Structure 1
């Protein structure tokens, strides 16, 4: 690829922020920067400079610059400085704080903010307009665990070859310390300095686009982290002090300044960094559905015509109404939890809600989207959870077997392959995940059958480090496996650098032995998806899912699900996670496009769906399934009108 600084066709992008430090042209040959800061709890604010100059050359800094109050808590100033200038805000003549809209914190969240020129990076793939949502296969990853932006970039060709069409980066907003998950961010506009520079992040995204890969970012708008957030000192109205979250006070989304702060953050990532979409973390904790719709409206009004940009929710409330018009999809925890219970037998914590008839809940997920659509949920104190979802497109749901939460929020961060006692069963569930018309999501190194843990890690120090370590151990006291305090003491310390090292995939990505076998399995399933299913998914709709039972009426861990695809073809997936074969009386009358284990089709031809199997076929007609006399249908989920 030619140097971006010398390509005459390259384009440069900047989101003009209404606050923070914004380059505003030049005067008398010197660059100018406008500073704008909302501090309604302060009487006076100054910009304090740590470097001089228009070049950021480390010369003698300017004297502190008084900011002019302009009403409603806003302060403004203009200074003859440019890129590289380091600055802070001094509030009421005392505390100096970083810019809450800082574009970069080269010395971390407790250091000064840096003035940047967003147009310094010249984009090589400015023609990229994204991909339609139904083409999406997501690969979630942690940038730090893969060696920063450079480490991720090095893996992109292999991911594109695997069949992934999008990478999703865990939060990049700046947080304290060198390592962490990113969900305790405090400076939401500044990419974490330990991963690389802002231009290196743009280079990663640009490279991905050149390979046909979308890039999503996980954003956290429901809370700030406990260390390095100064907003409460100078902007008390930013927060609702009558509402507490598990992570601290909640932003007040009824204030337009707060709404604008987060809306601009979304637009900033999508326009200045050219991300292809956002995953909004814990949308239920925001507690303001009107603002979520407003966010979506702002994004779609400002994005260039013809560009594909996607908005995805994590939402424990299963609010189907948000998926009708404003958001592309939601992470489908119901799918994960039902499959996890079927594969592992676990039934504590939120798995309590799936312990009874997990195969029926999985069938409802495949036929209607959510398993909980208003029913009482045991893990939610018996309160109703969810809304009817059968009217939504199948692509409105992101299905996964593993992600950062479901691995990392375990005490020891075990991968599913460590918890499932049978690789064949895991492969069968994986085939279902990769071939359903819902949108599949993989977690980093999953494609190699990884058994490496992904644990919760931070880099806190002092009392906060002690509180995080002990608080995490207390969280597990209610689980039977951790009733013994001595066992809880063995839960890894998040602040120990070894916890981060243990969670970082090896740099050696050679494909041999077991790793090669798993990679080939994923690649084969994704090739089937790309060639045979994706072109037909735009208007796919579920036709129902049938749960099978034995002759005494007990559920088997087996089902058959069907979808009508865009061209009228029918996709059928037959899944059996049980230890015994399940009789079927219907030979696939179309083309078998995928099977696991090998030669499962031979047994289906003989009327048996083998143990630990998943078989997919396509046909032009809706199959009329008949079940052998010694197995009968006891539960069928039909999509509701």
Structure 2
């Protein structure tokens, strides 16, 4: 890695810093209780380098610029004293891995569980996550997804304010603690993903502007700060920094995949652009003997990013978080139309149908939320596994004023119908921590920046919510928990005792049953699903989908998402064959009875006069002979 501090073949630690705006850089190294100021050699291309015989693992260091400011290493592997403190020398190869035979899992097997390390467990660290891995395996999870780990300022943060992208935040534990978590997950057959943020740095603790202003584009901004300059005259080291970061998490920590946050905020006019180059580099280095998956969050709905080769393998990115499916489901279930939901509230049932069948709901249509701009590209040609579907995630809960989970906004039967729909549809599903046991705790927005920044963040959030009809009452607006209030973080921590209560046990059992059925019946079909499915609307809030494999097998899924029954005159025969051929039909699931339909059971041949609210039916039929 060209950045940071690493051992060379002779065993010395070599320090490397790209600092084109610095006329001199000194390495300030504290070793054996003594401080050393060591001039670093500058090269023609503005790199400063020094290889030290003094440095040892655990030593602290920083880079002293010509104005006297001492800054942490931008590629620091560990910051024991937070973002403003010195970096620590880490021997990247000292950890004794015990999972060297692990090669990951094929993408179709993915069932995600997103979690925030700091609020997931009572201890709020990597060890606390490790202690719950067996519970997740028993649930049917195959991949945990960690919200960003990059070192952030203060005591708590969602992680999207990362300042030092190579250093796991010290509040969560040491680099070895994180490696032990990844290793423990692999030993249980769990993949581990991590969120990475390459569109901006956090507002506090990043010093690149002091000595490498070329990292930032002089005219582009994101909603969270200055945009990276990926296509300017000095972009090569900038691109390399972030590509090295992606490779760093995959190789040094053994992560099985990355989720790239809000890549629509990355502007790059070069060819290949940064995102294509990153994916190409990762895939060329990893090869095909190890399963590594790259997932995007991309408001542009750019299907090109998820193209497949002749063998069905991703050329660039494996999948995209399907915000369209979430927003459509949320609008259909809650009736909300504020903010982004205005793009779905006009025809929510149709938009649910299209997004679950074809991936993107917006495939070139204009978006009212985006001032009429055209959004998205055609996606029905992509396989369903090119999308990750969810009922909720950290954004969709935490960006509500009071951090309410979806199950707190709608009747239980509606939530469970939507849950079954997402878990039994072909796209890999994602759960957000706690939903499996009906957690009552909110997930609020929290951060711990310096006081003036906290004032700006709090004021900005109140301005944002003031535009929503739900907060037309100014009194309610001022009841929104403040991000900097310690109680906002503490209230968001999961209460694991809820898992043992009756409501928690029932919801947990439902999740486990649906995931077991997914593994048994849906997973074997996924390699044969090479394009989207068909869908139709039935009655006021009914939908039916059909996906067909190349071998001719068909997966059927029908649901009533409404609060009123759908009469047979509206439902037709979309839910089941008129006369089921038991040699061809494989019943999978029916709700609200919440039990599998056994082929010998009369329930499969019984005819309902109507679809009750919350009804779901899923079955498969064999290929025509």
TM-score by length of 1: 0.90
For 2:113 and 2:605, locate their aligned partners in 1 and report how far apart those are by CA, in whole Å. Answer: 34
For 1:240, which of 188, 198, 217 is the aligned residue?
A: 217
Residues 111-260 of structure 1: matches in 2 within 5 Å? 111-146=85-120, 147-254=124-231, 255-260=235-240
Q: Partner residue of 1:84?
A: 58
User: Structure 1's 604 and 275: CA in aligned 2 closer, same or farther, altered over 3 A?
Assistant: farther
Q: Partner residue of 1:591?
A: 586
User: Could you tell me whether the CA contact under 8 Å between 1:180 and 1:458 is conserved in 2?
Assistant: yes
After superposition, give the CA deviation of every residue in 1:63-120 in whole Å (9 maximum; x if it has no partner).
2000111112111111111211100001114111000000000111011001101111
User: Structure 1's 303 and 113: CA in aligned 2 closer, same or farther, altered over 3 A?
Assistant: same
For 1:297, which of 280, 289, 292 is the aligned residue?
A: 280
Q: Partner residue of 1:512?
A: 501
Q: Partner residue of 1:633?
A: none
Q: Does 1:279 align with 2:269?
A: no
Q: Does 1:105 align with 2:79?
A: yes
For residue 392 of structure 1, report the CA deviation from its aligned partner: 0.5
For 1:446 and 1:548, locate their aligned partners in 2 and report how far apart those are by CA, in whole Å. Answer: 29
For residue 127 of structure 1, report the CA deviation from its aligned partner: 0.6
Residues 575-586 of structure 1: matches in 2 within 5 Å? 575-582=559-566, 583=568, 584-586=571-573
User: Could you tell me whether the CA contact under 8 Å between 2:14 and 2:50 is conserved in 1?
Assistant: yes
Q: Partner residue of 1:537?
A: 526
For 1:52, which of 11, 28, 31 is the aligned residue?
A: 31
User: Which sits farther off after the overlay, 482-491 or 596-605?
Assistant: 596-605
For residue 467 of structure 1, report the CA deviation from its aligned partner: 1.4
Q: Partner residue of 2:311?
A: none
For 2:141 and 2:498, locate their aligned partners in 1 and report how far apart those are by CA, in whole Å. Answer: 17
For 2:322, which of 326, 332, 340 is the aligned residue?
A: 332
Residues 278-427 of structure 1: matches in 2 within 5 Å? 278-288=258-268, 290-324=273-307, 325-420=315-410, 422-427=411-416
Q: Does 1:73 align with 2:46?
A: yes
Q: Partner residue of 2:418?
A: 429
User: Which sits farther off after the overlay, 585-594 or 231-240?
Assistant: 585-594
Q: Partner residue of 2:460?
A: 471
For 2:94 and 2:550, locate their aligned partners in 1 and report how far apart those are by CA, in whole Å. Answer: 44
User: Which sits farther off after the overlay, 493-502 or 263-272?
Assistant: 493-502
Q: Does 1:561 align with 2:535?
A: no
After superposition, give the CA deviation of every residue in 1:278-332 in whole Å (9 maximum; x if it has no partner).
0000010012372101000010111154100000000001011111131000000
For 1:538 and 1:521, locate their aligned partners in 2 and report how far apart those are by CA, in whole Å. Answer: 26
For residue 404 of structure 1, report the CA deviation from its aligned partner: 0.2
User: Could you tell me whether the CA contact under 8 Å between 1:604 and 1:610 is conserved in 2?
Assistant: no
For 2:617 and 2:453, locate their aligned partners in 1 and report how far apart those are by CA, in whole Å. Answer: 51
SS at structure 2 position matched to 1:399:
strand
For 1:592 and 1:523, locate their aligned partners in 2 and report how far apart those are by CA, in whole Å. Answer: 18
User: Structure 1's 591 and 260: CA in aligned 2 closer, same or farther, altered over 3 A?
Assistant: same
User: Could you tell me whether the CA contact under 8 Å between 2:359 and 2:532 is conserved in 1?
Assistant: no
For 2:357 and 2:499, locate their aligned partners in 1 and report how far apart those are by CA, in whole Å. Answer: 39
Q: Partner residue of 1:610?
A: 612
> Tell me, which stretches of 5 or more residues in structure 2 are unaligned?
308-314, 596-602
For 1:494 and 1:348, locate their aligned partners in 2 and report how far apart those are by CA, in whole Å. Answer: 22
For 2:594 and 2:112, locate their aligned partners in 1 and report how far apart those are by CA, in whole Å. Answer: 29
After superposition, give the CA deviation of every residue in 1:40-69 in whole Å (9 maximum; x if it has no partner).
0110000012x214xxxxx222x2000111
Q: Does 1:502 align with 2:491?
A: yes
For residue 201 of structure 1, report the CA deviation from its aligned partner: 0.2
For 1:585 and 1:296, locate their aligned partners in 2 and report how far apart those are by CA, in whole Å. Answer: 46
For 1:106 and 1:542, locate their aligned partners in 2 and report how far apart those are by CA, in whole Å. Answer: 48
User: Could you tell me whether the CA contact under 8 Å between 1:152 and 1:204 is conserved in 2?
Assistant: yes
For 2:407 and 2:192, locate their aligned partners in 1 and report how far apart those are by CA, in whole Å. Answer: 27
For 2:612 and 2:319, locate their aligned partners in 1 and report how far apart those are by CA, in whole Å. Answer: 33
Q: Partner residue of 1:443?
A: 432
For residue 238 of structure 1, report the CA deviation from its aligned partner: 1.2
User: Could you tell me whether the CA contact under 8 Å between 1:188 and 1:265 is conserved in 2?
Assistant: yes
After superposition, give the CA deviation of every residue in 1:12-35 in whole Å (9 maximum; x if it has no partner).
xxxxx2121111244xxxx52111
User: Could you tell me whether the CA contact under 8 Å between 1:449 and 1:514 is conserved in 2?
Assistant: yes
User: Structure 1's 97 and 604: CA in aligned 2 closer, same or farther, altered over 3 A?
Assistant: farther
For 1:399 and 1:579, locate their aligned partners in 2 and report how far apart those are by CA, in whole Å. Answer: 23
User: Could you tell me whether the CA contact under 8 Å between 1:536 and 1:566 is conserved in 2?
Assistant: no
TM-score by length of 2: 0.92
SS at structure 1 position matched to 2:93:
helix
SS at structure 1 position matched to 2:76:
coil
Root-mean-square deviation over aligned CA pairs: 1.5
For residue 511 of structure 1, report the CA deviation from its aligned partner: 2.8
After superposition, give the CA deviation of every residue in 1:151-175 in whole Å (9 maximum; x if it has no partner).
1001110101101100000000001
For 1:45 and 1:603, locate their aligned partners in 2 and report how far apart those are by CA, in whole Å. Answer: 79
For residue 604 of structure 1, report the CA deviation from its aligned partner: 6.5
For 1:596 and 1:92, locate their aligned partners in 2 and report how far apart those are by CA, in whole Å. Answer: 69
User: Could you tell me whether the CA contact under 8 Å between 1:603 and 1:610 is conserved in 2?
Assistant: no
For 1:42 and 1:461, locate their aligned partners in 2 and report how far apart those are by CA, in whole Å. Answer: 27
Q: Partner residue of 1:270?
A: 250
User: Could you tell me whether the CA contact under 8 Å between 1:537 and 1:566 is conserved in 2?
Assistant: no
User: Could you tell me whether the CA contact under 8 Å between 2:358 and 2:533 is conserved in 1?
Assistant: no
User: Could you tell me whether the CA contact under 8 Å between 2:112 and 2:145 is conserved in 1?
Assistant: yes
> Tell me, which stretches of 5 or more residues in structure 1 are unaligned?
1-16, 54-58, 550-555, 623-641
SS at structure 2 position matched to 1:237:
helix
| Residue-pair matches, total | 588
